[in-house]
């Protein structure tokens, strides 16, 4: 059982280290691809919040947001690299309508929706997302649109896609981490990814307050020697 709200710094650092070690041994090599995704898909912007937002009160220096000129093909390539060993088959299934590998079949319908919404007449999807550039610990990390998209995520693959859209807010899950989350007392993310996102926000806020650290220091926990522009690694904290 592990709950970040009651953890100390060393416990979280150890947890992230172990998570990165385990992830690097898997076929999808998540940490390596995440590094590539960060440089291709996201920009680190100055914190846009008012001074009374939780993040600003705790030394926030900025948030990661998705680039509004990212093409769907780029997004899809990173989705494939991050989350599946059957990369080419996933991309051609979504872009060319070929038959997907059976392990990817559940991912296709939602990716097709995103493909069609990417440049839809209601306004480009990414422009709507970057209009509200907040992070997980902000008092209101998502606007009504972001909350609707997050609560519509009904399976593992959708959670991964939504986490790519709201990179600094939404935590993806898989079967293993879902069980870890539930064992730790979080809700079932399959029932409501939005509820779990809210629970994690409160826990991360508690962790920051209890340990008297700033947001920059929190981001550095995953990368002590590097820059402080690190993604909120809450997914890695709750899963190993
Ligand atoms: Zn901020
Ligand atoms: Zn904020």
pLDDT in tens, 102-125: 999 999 999 999 999 898 766 688
pLDDT in tens, 58-95: 999 899 999 999 999 999 999 999 888 889 999 999 99
CB count in 10 Å sphere of residue 213: 17
Q: What range does the domain containing 39 cover?
A: 4-238
**C-alpha span between 186 and 197 (Å, rounded):** 10
Token couple for 36: 């590539």
- Domain total in the chain: 1
**Which residues, other chains included, contact 20 with Cβ-Cβ below 8 Å and sequence gap of 6+?**
31, 222, 236
121: which DSSP letter? T
Structure confidence at residue 148 (pLDDT): 93
- The alpha carbon dihedral of 67, 72, 74, 77 has a sign of positive
**Which residues, other chains included, contact 126 with Cβ-Cβ below 8 Å and sequence gap of 6+?**
66, 67, 68, 69, 70, 118, 165
**C-alpha span between 89 and 165 (Å, rounded):** 22
Give me ligand 2 centre to Cα 114, in Å: 27
0.85 cut: is pTM over it? Answer: yes
Give me ligand 1 centre to Cα 172, in Å: 21
Give me ligand 2 centre to Cα 60, in Å: 8
Structure confidence at residue 28 (pLDDT): 62
**Which residues, other chains included, contact 70 with Cβ-Cβ below 8 Å and sequence gap of 6+?**
40, 41, 126
């Amino acid at each position: 059982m592990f709950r970040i709200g009651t953890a100390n710094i060393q416990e979280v650092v150890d947890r992230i280290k172990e998570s990165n070690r385990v992830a690097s041994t898997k076929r999808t090599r998540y940490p390596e691809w995440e590094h590539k995704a960060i440089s291709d898909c996201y920009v680190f912007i100055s914190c846009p919040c008012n001074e009374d937002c939780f993040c600003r009160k705790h030394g926030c220096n900025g948030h990661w947001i998705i680039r509004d000129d990212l093409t769907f093909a780029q997004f899809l390539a990173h989705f494939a690299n991050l989350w599946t060993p059957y990369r080419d088959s996933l991309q051609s299934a979504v872009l060319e309508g070929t038959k997907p590998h059976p392990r990817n079949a559940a991912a296709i319908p939602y990716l097709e929706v995103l493909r069609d919404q990417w440049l839809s007449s209601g306004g480009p999807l990414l422009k709507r997302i970057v209009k509200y550039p907040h992070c997980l610990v902000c008092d209101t990390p998502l606007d009504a649109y972001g909350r609707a998209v997050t609560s519509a995520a009904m399976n593992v693959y959708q959670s991964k896609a939504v986490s790519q859209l709201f990179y600094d807010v939404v935590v993806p899950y898989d079967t293993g981490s879902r069980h870890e989350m539930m064992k730790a007392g979080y809700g079932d993310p399959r029932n409501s990814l939005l509820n779990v996102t809210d629970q994690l926000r409160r826990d991360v806020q508690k962790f920051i307050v209890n340990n008297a650290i700033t947001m920059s220091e929190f981001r550095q926990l995953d990368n002590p020697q590097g820059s402080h522009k690190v993604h909120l690694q809450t997914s890695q904290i709750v899963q190993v």
